[in-house]
Structure formats: structure tokens, C-alpha cells
Chain A
């Protein structure tokens, strides 16, 4: 095991966006077993410290790769495009307009006759958009040119907005129906 390897290598998985999630959880379980602290109880402090480090790296790797958004961001980072820490970027005004409208309809949902149905419809829209952005991301990423990575980064930025919208839909749902 080597924590200088990237997350994919560390987990012995192919570096791809179309990640086999089943394989991810299997590999993670196998590694967790070999890293279990009980197995190290007879070892030196240094070795135990290493095992803690490996476990932390493993957890980080699994949570990053499991989520489709952070997996996309991580793949781009491996290619030198850091979308994790950027805050301001020029974005397509039409896209922002659509985001604005979607947020507006979310804000108005609790006042509609059937908020549950409206929420479901909005969630379906968000999921559909995310699916299509993930497909586009994968296509651009595979083209593997500087301009296609830039296009893939645009997909990631858009995913971030839909991700946020998805979380807000969930929050509103909890607020409206989980009392």
C-alpha cells in the first residue's frame, strides 16, 4: 500500500469516470480488513501510525470516488485542472438564468397546491440534468485534450449548481414532510 498513489491506483481500480461502484466497495472492504487496528496491536508505534494514515487515506479515497461530482473533480485534478477550490468563474448566462428560474420555482413550492408533486417534478429535472452532465463530462474527459478537459471542467461547474439545488430540494422536503 502506498499513499503517494492516486485514489484509483491505491484501490487498484481503473482510472475512469464510469467507475464500477460494486468493485469500489469490494476493494474498500478488502483494504479495510488488512488495515484493521487489531491486526497491528503487536506492531510498533510507527507501524500503527502508518495504519492509521492508510485508513484515513482509504476513507478519503472512497468518499471522493463514490460521489459522481467529486469523482469528476478528482479526475480533472489528476490532469491539472483544479475545480475543488475555484470560486469565481465566468459562466454561461443562459445557464445562470435557468438556475435562477429553478431556484425561484423551488422557493415557491411550499405555496403550491401540491408541494409533494412539485418537489418530485423538480427533483426529476435535477436528476435528468445531472445525468446528462455526467455523460457529457465522461465524453469530454475521454477525449483527453486540453480543450476537452476545459469543457469537462465546465460540466463540473454546472454539476455543482445542480448538486446544490438537489440538496436544497432535500432540505425543503425534510422541512415540509418530516414533522
Chain B
């Protein structure tokens, strides 16, 4: 199966690969996995005091589409509010990357990852209070 140019671009030059300290209060970490293909994805966000995502990092072990989906999400969410990030839809990711139907689940994985990261951050904030 041929990858789209967009996928190849993110695959060859992934943005924002890395790790932030998941113990920090202002970091939210989302860990997700897809059993069928054995892919694992970690997506982290760094949130400012006024609720804006300042930075995002990811690490994905999986196929090109999964790497590209998570790479794209880290680019998109920077500057977003938590609510905006939570509303991010996999269909937008799939459309941007021109994912074929068999790879749609990779974009779902990335959507789940950002949702999990936001939820993790909110949980940390709730615990603090």
C-alpha cells in the first residue's frame, strides 16, 4: 500500500518526538494502544496556567500512519485550549493525511491519545485542589 505524501513527510520528519516529565503537574500524558496491530502511542501536553497547550510531545511505536497521525496532532494542539484539543476529531486527521480506509484506526488512536492526555491533566489538577 502506498502512503500519501503527507504521511511520508511526517514519518520521515516526525515533529515533536520526545518525552516530558509525566510527574509534573502541568503535564498531561495519554497512553493508548491498538491490540490488533500492537501499536503503542504516548502523547503528552504541557499546559499553561491559563489552560493553553504550550507544548506537545509524542512517541509512537507503530506503522507510518500511526506515527504521522500522532505527529500531526502534536503540531495541531499547540496553542489550543484544552476544550479545543478534546474536540479534535479523527476524521480531520485522516483527511489531512489522506489515510486509506484500512488506516483510519491509526487516526482514531491519535484522537484517543490526545483525549487521554487532556483527561490525565485534568485529573492531576482536580487532585491538587
* Residue ranges of B at the interface with A (Cβ–Cβ < 8 Å): 31-38, 40, 42, 59, 61, 105, 108-109, 112
Contact = CB atoms under 8 A, between A and B. Distances in A.
A161 B35 contact: yes
Interface of A: 83, 85-89, 91, 93, 96-97, 99-100, 103-104, 107, 156-158, 160-161, 163-165
29 contacts: A83-B35, A86-B35, A86-B36, A87-B35, A87-B105, A87-B108, A88-B34, A88-B105, A88-B112, A89-B35, A91-B35, A96-B31, A96-B32, A96-B40, A96-B42, A97-B31, A99-B33, A99-B40, A100-B40, A100-B42, A100-B59, A103-B40, A160-B36, A161-B33, A161-B35, A161-B40, A163-B38, A164-B37, A165-B38
Contacts of B33: 91, 96, 99, 161
Given A88-B105, A91-B33, A158-B35, 20 more contacts: A86-B36, A87-B34, A87-B35, A87-B37, A87-B105, A88-B108, A88-B109, A89-B35, A93-B31, A96-B33, A96-B40, A99-B40, A100-B42, A103-B61, A104-B59, A107-B61, A156-B35, A160-B35, A161-B35, A164-B37
Given A97-B31, A100-B59, A103-B61, A164 B108 contact: no
Nearest to B34: A87
